[in-house]
Structure 1
Amino acid sequence: MENIEALLIPAARKGENEVLKELIRRECNINFQDEKGYTPLIIACYNNQLESAKILIEAGADLNASDLGGNTALMGASFKGYLEIVNLLINECADLNLQHGNGGTALMFAVMFGRNDVAKLLIEKGASRSLKDNRGQSALDLAVIQNNLEAIAILES
């Protein structure tokens, strides 16, 4: 079954939803991880495949699974600025405050990469502003370093 499960990753990356549905029907492990620890949901979210993400979540994908670096689907979508996917993951109860291997959070990714609409949504839905990464920096510290004035205003409001 493992060779079949490996097909979940490219199907999720490319948004091949009929392939995903067939693999799910065959009872593949929906939380299969490749050599980098990526799950189909992480890959779908990182590649802005909203419908694929919905299919995977409906099939029971682990919202908080992480890759080898500790990155989750929410972190990937926040980094890329995919607001619809971030909203989907939040509505499905993904943990907003998980920290990856270096202590970063989805909010920190959003702030560092100027995804201010994502940062605002994360804060509105309860993401912690006070968490610090392994260097002792908060989301606000990162916004200041990036000279992201809009994010600074969002974080200070």
Structure 2
Amino acid sequence: MTGETDPPALDADTIAFAGRVFDLARGGREAELADFLAQGVPPNLTNGKGDTLLILASYHGHEESVRLLLDRGADPDRVNDRGQNALAAAAFKGALRVMQLLVERGAAVDGCGPQGRTALMTAAMFDRTDAVDLLLSRGADPARQDADGRDAASLATQMGAYGTPRRLAAALTRPPAD
């Protein structure tokens, strides 16, 4: 029985079209993506894993596609099924210019999904020291804990990161800026 909230069934052509749009975001093909957005494709289009066009463009480091999507109203704080937002996706890859753009355009520096994992935690885990430095400079909280009570430094240490635990320890001992 179909309830009122069940989405309509999609045909093969619609699914193929959506796949093409997601590939444009992954590939950084902003001109073609802009054409589809102008024709009514929603900027917060989401795939079956909860990834938005913005998350995919951010993950792949496509600054101009990220800018386009933000200009068209994409929500930088939406999370996918794994609790990751666009900033965390960019932090995972160390895409500094994308990270800067996202924060400048309103992404919550400590934004996260239900698991509580922030972009700082993601960057720290994968030893992205430049990304950690950027996020700290933008006000990321090094003492913030995820749903399991782990902060960025403990997650980084657990993953065997070398440089980020020291940066985070230093950030925790610095007096707050006025």
Fold shared, TM-score > 0.5 on shorter chain: yes
Among 76, 98, 106, the alignment partner of 1:63 is 76
The 1-side partners of 2:34 and 2:159 are apart by 41
Matched, 1:94 2:121: no
The percent of aligned pairs where both chains have the same amino acid is 31
Question: Larger radius of gyration, structure 1 or 2?
Answer: 2
Alpha-carbon shift at residue 147 of structure 1 (Å): 4.5
- 2:165 pairs, out of 141, 152, 157, with 152
Structure 1: how far apart are the matches of 2:18 and 2:157?
A: 43
Instruction: Tell me the TM-score normalised to structure 1 length.
Output: 0.91
Structure 1, unpaired ranges of 5+: none
* Distance change >3 Å, CA 34–CA 149, structure 1 → 2: closer
* Correspondence for 1:25 among 38, 41, 55: 38
CA distance in structure 2 between the aligned counterparts of 1:82 and 1:10, rounded to whole angstroms:
19
Letter in 1 for 2:70: I
Indicate yes or no: 2:52 matched with 1:45: no
- Normalised by the length of structure 2, the TM-score is 0.81
Report whether the alignment pairs 1:131 with 2:144: yes
CA RMSD of aligned residues (A): 1.7
Give the aligned partner of residue 119 of structure 1.
132
Deviations 1:70-119 (A, max 9, x none): 21010111011111111111111201112234321100110000101000
- Structure 2: gaps of 5 or more residues: 1-9, 171-178
